[in-house]
Chain A
């Protein structure tokens, strides 16, 4: 007998005796997550407030080119990385910097040496200040986490109220064939492992900037 069958056999044997229901033995069966989670109100204001708390740099912009150029000057970027996309390609090209485009493969050392990774996203979640992106549509797994600065180019229409809406969108968009990675990114990388004192940029990006058109 394979180990799989042995374990499943033990599970089935164990489950022959029913377990008491949780809590006070009742089963409410309610799944109205949105009614219990923190309220959202105006999505844009909520996203702005969450970003401020998380130290995400969130800005509404008219032109991604101009916003990126300003950031580039402020940060002194020398080389950036991005993926092919309707927003990312023209915006990154306009900077006149060396741009590493990851879509058809890349060298990890090259990506590590970039000052920023510029990506698009699937959605923004107002409730939590979260960026939702996938390996298929935002340049794979490493682009958004290896460079020290992650810049997201998003559209206003991508702003969703809460997490239940975000998971509904993922199901609708990818339900037939999910990408190998879906990332919910909530602020720049952080740690509190030393005396519970917050430090940004533990292993992932020290800065997260979201330009919303």
Chain B
């Protein structure tokens, strides 16, 4: 068992029994469910919108080479410097180069999951630069030296009391139990950071191939400030973020808001097409866009699972997943958690090391049903399981299934098996839940249902 599996199992067991954690997550998600259902019901046809969104992302991903060429050509034509990074290491090196060249002292960042993916903050801090996360939730988890708990709600696992204590300790503020006051403490602390920063780093929600624009969705205004005030701005994005046309946003922006946060539209949806243009009074002198592969082309090469690249990172599948709700975001040990994380992490970081995430699934299909771009999520979990076994067969599992098939195909043997099981059951309490118990994974915390006295087959024979 590798360390990732061990960590996952330990954390999952601990958190699944942590009632305080459960209460916190349920309370947060219940608010989300209510808002999402109201907003979804306002659509004239959410289902048609989903189908169209799925088709548009399908088009973008299946013409990705053309989309990327168009996107970057348009950006470069208006003075943006485009960088391509095959790996996380290359991406970090590119950002470090820009930061060093600009002799930057302080860096302000808005939310970017890709920066978590390439561990950019660690690299920048290691090189001696101050990096401040400006999204409130990200700022809180950064102060706690933690990873974000959720793609969209990074600090969902914390109470206001914990945040107040954190601010008291790190910022010297007075304790308070008002979310509004806590938000204002962060607002005041970050204002000077925006103004002082030489470099702004942002993520991206969409990349428009037709016009060469980055689209950023947020509620707080921190990304807008990050892209407005520093002299140099860098945007990080995965190559899969493309949409073919500008007008596609008329569908994707409201769908992202509804699926992601239960809003009609997120507060700020902003398009950036380059550095400050002639006749404009502000904006960065230099604009860099960094396109990251980091094994996305590996996922692209798997035609069966290619639609996982349609993901718009709304987090809706996390919010409905019974596994996520029980074990929480940090347990996954990955940048991308929940069903989408379980699907793509084996492609991004190795199937054998991360296949266990695909086992942590009830296969209920809630993720597939809620996904606004119709990614076939729960089937992909099965595909990962199948691929993992195909690549690395487990001899005793194989043997067990051969034995199982041999017995169930022979009614006489099956009948004997049933009778033996009824006898064996009498002795089971002696070993129940102990390391000797073959059903231990189940019986550790649960009872095994008793076999019926008579099988359906036997009852049927008697009735005839």
Contact = CB atoms under 8 A, between A and B. Distances in A.
Interface of A: 2-4, 6-8, 10-15, 17-23, 27-33, 35-39, 50, 83, 102-106, 108-109, 112, 127-130, 135-136, 139-142, 145-146, 162-164, 166-168, 170-171, 178-197, 199, 201-205
Nearest to A53: B264
Nearest to A125: B265
A115 B64 CA distance: 46
28 contacts: A2-B84, A6-B86, A7-B68, A7-B84, A7-B239, A8-B65, A10-B297, A22-B58, A29-B55, A35-B44, A36-B44, A37-B44, A37-B251, A83-B281, A140-B228, A164-B247, A180-B272, A180-B277, A183-B224, A184-B253, A190-B219, A191-B220, A192-B153, A193-B140, A194-B155, A199-B180, A202-B136, A202-B221
A203 B270 contact: no
B281 A167 contact: no
Contacts of B90: 3
Given A3-B86, A3-B90, A7-B86, A27 B55 contact: yes
B87 to A, nearest CB: 9
Nearest to A109: B195
Interface in B49-101: 49-52, 54-55, 57-58, 61-65, 68-69, 72, 78, 84-86, 90
B360 to A, nearest CB: 25
A19 B303 contact: yes
Interface in B245-288: 246-247, 249-251, 253-254, 261, 264-277, 279-283, 287
Residue among A3, A11, A50 with most chain B CB within 10 A: A11
Interface pairs A-B: 5 shortest CB-CB: A204-B221, A22-B54, A141-B228, A202-B220, A193-B137
Nearest to B58: A22
Contact of B273 (A18, A178, A202): A178
A180 B273 contact: yes
Given A37-B44, A192-B153, 4 more contacts: A30-B52, A164-B250, A191-B136, A201-B183
B43 A36 contact: yes
Contacts of B184: 201
A29 B306 CA distance: 20
